[in-house]
Amino acid sequence: MKILMVLTSHDQLGNTGHKTGFWLEELAAPYYVFKDAGVDIVLASPNGGKPPLDPKSNEPDFQTDQTRRFEADSAATAALESTSKLKDVARDEFDAVFYPGGHGPMWDLAEDRDSIGLIERTIAAGKPVALVCHAPGVLRHVRRPDGKPLVEGKSVTGFTNTEEEAVGLTKVVPFLVEDELKAKGGKFSKGADWQPYVLEDGLLLTGQNPASSGPAAKALLSKLVKGSE
């Protein structure tokens, strides 16, 4: 079994002068759900090489057993240092695709043609795609074969307006994930702020926030295992 994990290459938090990138827990928790199940993991990003880490996600308050395990794992950190260029692997064969969040994807992956095409082809091939936290925002330009938004009529979730307001970035981000998914016809729902909440609608799986990343990965893995039986 082979899963592609797609990370951002964007490191600027709007015009604030602060850094952003991917959120560490949202990579580490799914990474070990997959790794411990014997999955072959490929990491990719638009620019390739080492993707930017949101420095806030590595502060003591946001560290978890999985993030500490990842940082102590030489094989994992080596893989992160040398991610493949998304355009070079986007047409390779994978059983599923997983998008960790962080604010970075809202700037680059949401507009990236390789990412959009990857999601469209994966779904068209009958394979699942999972996205967590801010990453469901990268679905904004993804379409079905009939030209309609992929999320139209789909049960979806993602980082909520109230969670964005809580971190004080409502006016900084290029769009609000919740509003964008609703605008594209998604049937958006949410759990309590900062609590795990995962939705599965056909081949599309979405998680609300960092705490949802591990559960979303487990849901994706379960779907793959059932599909192979």
Which residues make Cβ contacts (< 8 Å) with residue 104, sequence separation at least 6?
8, 9, 10, 11, 20, 21, 22, 51, 52, 54
Distance CA 54, CA 129 (A): 23
Distance CA 139, CA 119 (A): 8
Report the domain count for the chain. 1
pLDDT (0 to 100) of residue 215: 98
- On whether the CB atoms of residues 25 and 213 are closer than 8 A, the answer is yes
Q: How far is CA 181 from the centre of its chain?
A: 15
- On whether the CB atoms of residues 47 and 85 are closer than 8 A, the answer is yes
Phi first, then psi: give them for residue 94, nearest 5 degrees.
-130, 155
Q: What is the CATH number of the domain that holds 152?
A: 3.40.50.880
- Print the domain residue range for 139: 2-228
Is residue 74 pLDDT above 80, yes or no? yes
Report how far apart, in Å, the C-alpha atoms of 120 and of each of 69, 155, 202 are. 33, 17, 14
pLDDT (0 to 100) of residue 226: 86
Query: With left for phi above 0 and alpha for psi between -120 and 50, is residue 109 left, alpha or beta?
Result: alpha
Reported confidence tier of residue 229, pLDDT bands at 50, 70, 90: low
pLDDT (0 to 100) of residue 227: 76
Q: How far is CA 17 from the centre of its chain?
A: 24
Bridge-based pairing of strands 155-156 and 129-132 is: unpaired
Q: Which residues of 19-48 are buried (b: 16+ CB within 10 A; e: fewer)?
A: ebbbbbbbbbbbbbbbbeeebebbbbbbbb
pLDDT, mean of residues 97-126: 98
Phi first, then psi: give them for residue 228, nearest 5 degrees.
-95, -5
Determine how many CB atoms are found less than 10 A away from the CB of residue 88. Answer: 11
> Taking the model in full, what pTM does it have?
0.97
- On whether the CB atoms of residues 220 and 206 are closer than 8 A, the answer is no
Number of helices (H) and strands (E), helices first, in the chain? 8, 9
Please, what's the largest Cα pairwise distance for the chain?
Answer: 50
Span 129-188, pLDDT tens digits: 999 999 999 999 999 999 999 999 999 999 999 999 999 999 999 999 999 999 999 999
Reported confidence tier of residue 66, pLDDT bands at 50, 70, 90: very high
